[in-house]
Amino acid sequence: MKVVDLFCGCGGLSLGFQKAGFNILAAFDNWDDAITVYHANFKHPVIKQDLSNVDQTVEKVKKYKPDMIIGGPPCQDFSSAGKRDENNGRGDLTINYAQVIAALKPDWFVMENVDRITKTEKLVEAKTIFKQCGYGLTYAILNASRCGAPQRRKRFIMIGHLGEEDGFMSNILELRQSDKEMTVADYFGSQLDIQYYYRHPRSYARRGIFSVNEPSPTIRGVNRPMPAGYQLHSNDPVKSLEGIRPLTTLERSMIQTFPKDFRFLGNKTNMEQMIGNAVPVNLARYVGECIMAYLGNNNPVNYEQLREDYPEKIVNNSSVSINPELKVDKEKNVLISLVKNDNVDLFLDGSARIYYTGKKFPSTVALNKLYYFMPYVKQKGIRDIYLIKIARVGSKHEIHPDADENDLRLVFEIEKIGQLFDDYKPVELKIWHTFTDTTIKSVLSNRL
C-alpha cells in the first residue's frame, strides 16, 4: 500500500509503518532540523512544506497518488505538557490535516495525537470533515507499553477507511495488545548498565527516579540533568541518589524504539525535542500491523527484524511452575502448529521441550501475547497443551550443528501441562489465517 506521511518529524511514524510492510513514497514537514534527520535515515524524498497551506499541500501530495495518508499534527496545544489551549494556533493544524484528507480522499488515513485531544472541539470538527467525506472511523487510546514500546505513553489513534462502518477495527486494535506492559528491562535486556535513572518531574510533588523494571514515563522533548539539590521523593524507589543519572539521548531514542543505528543529527536541544515529539516506532508499527491484519495480508514474519526488536526473549514465562493444580486460563492466547513427522514421537509421549517453526510464519500472529502451545499431529488433530516458557528467535543450529546458523526460526521452549481433551480432536489447521484471537476459549467452543 502506497503511503505519504504528513508532519513526519524525524520519522517515527514512517519507520513503524515501513516495518509493518507499507511503502512510504514521501514525507512532508516544515522543521528543517527534523527534515535533515529524516533525510539521513530514509531513501524516499522528504519535502519541506508549510502544512497549514492546504491548497499547496494538496497539489504537492496528489502527484504521489497515495492509498493512505498518515500523520501526527503537532499536539502541543492539547498536551498536558503544553498550555492546553486548543485555540493557540497549532490546534488548527489538526483541521488542516483533515482538510488535506478531504481534498485527496485516499482509501485510508491514520491520525496520531495526544490522548487529551478527545476533550477538544478541534477533534469534533475534524471528525465532522472525515464523516462528510464518507470515512468509517475507528479510534482508540493506545498505551505504547502494551504495543511493543517500553514506555507508558498514551496516544490517540484514529484510522479512517472509505465506505466502512464506524468501529470497523476496534476489536483488532484491542486484541493485539499485550496483556503485560513492556518494561525498560524487557526491551533493553543486558544493554543498560543501570537499574534506576532520573527523569525530571514537572513538579517536585512528583517522583523523579524510575526503575528499569517498569515502563518508562513518557519521553518528553527535554532531558534535564538531575539538580544538585534534588531531594528524594517518597515514591522514589531508591534510598540513595548514588549512581543515579538521566538517560542519554541514545537511550531515550531507543525507548522511543528507534533502532540503535538511527542517525540523529544537530544540536542536543533539537535532537531531544525530535525524540520527544516522535511517535514511538513500535507503536506506529503496531497500528500498521493491525491494518495489515484487518486486510488479511498474511506476510511472513521477518526474523532478522524480529531479532532486532526482541534481542533476547519475545515471551518469558520461565517463572511459571507446572503443577497438578495449574488451571488453564481460557482467555490466554494459544498457538496451534503442525508437528513434523520426525518429531511426532516426542509430542505423543509428552517429552518435547522445544518447538521450531518452519521457515515461514505469519506476521499477523501477536507473538508477545502467546502463552500456550498445542501441537497439531497429522491425521489426529490436537489434544495436549503446553506452556510456552520462552519464545525467542533462534535457529536449528543450536541442536543440529550441521544446520545453517543463519536459517532463523521462532523457537518455543515448552513444558507440557496436560491434556485439554480426552482424545485427539480433529480441527482445520489455519495458522495462515490466524491473527490474534485464537484463545483457549475459542478452541474449547470449536470456533476455529
**CB burial of residue 401 (10 Å; 0-12, 13-18, 19+):** exposed
Q: What are the backbone angles phi and psi of residue 243, rounded to the nearest 5°?
A: 80, 0
Q: What are the backbone angles phi and psi of residue 14, rounded to the nearest 5°?
A: -60, -45
Cα–Cα distance measured from residue 316 to residue 197, given in angstroms and rounded to the nearest whole number: 24
Q: What are the backbone angles phi and psi of residue 435, rounded to the nearest 5°?
A: -110, -90
Given the residues 10, 75, 147, 290, the one annotated as active site: 75
Continuous segment of H or E residues that includes residue 16: helix 12-19
Cα–Cα distance measured from residue 350 to residue 339, given in angstroms and rounded to the nearest whole number: 13
Which of 329-343, 399-413, 420-434 bottoms out in mean pLDDT, i.e. has the lowest?
A: 420-434
The cell for 313 is: 526473549
Which of 15-24, 31-40, 354-363 bottoms out in mean pLDDT, i.e. has the lowest?
A: 354-363
pLDDT computed for residue 360 by the predictor: 85
pLDDT computed for residue 77 by the predictor: 52
Task: Name beta bridge partners: 337.
Answer: 375
Q: Which residue has the cell 543486558?
A: 190
Angstrom distances, CA of residue 174 to CA of 26, 49, 142, 335, 427: 30, 35, 9, 19, 26
Nearest 5°: the CA angle 66, 304, 440 is: 85
- Find all residues with CB under 8 Å of 207, minimum gap 6, and list them: 201, 233, 234, 235, 236
Number of Cβ atoms within 10 Å of the Cβ of 51: 22
Closest CA to 384 of 327, 425, 330: 425
Alpha helices in 278-318 (DSSP H): 281-295, 303-309
Closest CA to 211 of 238, 229, 230: 238
Q: What is the DSSP string of 173-213?
A: HHHTS-SSPPPHHHHHTTS---SEEE---SSTTS--EEETT
Continuous segment of H or E residues that includes residue 162: strand 154-162
**CATH, domain range 2-178+260-297:** 3.40.50.150
- Find all residues with CB under 8 Å of 128, minimum gap 6, and list them: none
Number of Cβ atoms within 10 Å of the Cβ of 93: 21
Domain with CATH 2.30.130 in the chain: 307-444
pLDDT computed for residue 113 by the predictor: 97
Domain with CATH 3.40.50.150 in the chain: 2-178+260-297
DSSP 8-state class, residue 333: E
Highest mean pLDDT among 45-59, 315-329, 374-388: 45-59
Q: Which residue has the cell 523457537?
A: 411
Cα–Cα distance measured from residue 448 to residue 443, given in angstroms and rounded to the nearest whole number: 6
Cα–Cα distance measured from residue 280 to residue 258, given in angstroms and rounded to the nearest whole number: 7
- Helix 281-295 to helix 12-19 angle (10° resolution) is 40
340 torsion bin: left (phi>0), alpha (psi -120 to 50), beta (else): beta
Closest CA to 255 of 326, 304, 193, 184: 184
pLDDT computed for residue 448 by the predictor: 47
- pLDDT-based confidence at 82, cuts 50/70/90? low
What is the gyration radius of the CA atoms in the chain, in angstroms? Answer: 24
pLDDT computed for residue 257 by the predictor: 96
The model carries a pTM of 0.79
Closest CA to 344 of 420, 441, 424: 424
pLDDT computed for residue 30 by the predictor: 97
Cα–Cα distance measured from residue 173 to residue 175, given in angstroms and rounded to the nearest whole number: 6
The model's pLDDT over 198-245, given as tens digits with 9 standing for 90+, comes to: 999 988 899 999 999 999 999 999 999 999 989 999 999 999 999 999
Quick one: what percent of the chain has pLDDT higher than 70? 94
Cα torsion at 125, 130, 131, 134 (round to 10°)? 160
Q: Which residue has the cell 475507528?
A: 138
Collapsed DSSP state (helix, strand, coil) of residue 152: coil
The model's pLDDT over 161-184, given as tens digits with 9 standing for 90+, comes to: 999 999 999 988 988 888 889 999
Q: Is the pLDDT of residue 83 over 60?
A: no
Pick the CATH number of 307-444 from 2.30.130, 1.20.1270, 3.30.1340, 3.40.190: 2.30.130
The model's pLDDT over 57-78, given as tens digits with 9 standing for 90+, comes to: 999 999 999 999 999 999 655 4
- pLDDT-based confidence at 434, cuts 50/70/90? low
The model's pLDDT over 296-310, given as tens digits with 9 standing for 90+, comes to: 776 788 898 888 888
Q: Which residue has the higher pLDDT, 434 or 34?
A: 34
pLDDT computed for residue 75 by the predictor: 64
Chain-centroid distance of CA 187 in Å reads 12
Residue 244 and residue 198 in contact, taking contact as beta carbons nearer than 8 Å: yes
The cell for 267 is: 544540536
pLDDT computed for residue 433 by the predictor: 58
Quick one: what percent of the chain has pLDDT higher than 90? 69
75 is catalytic: yes
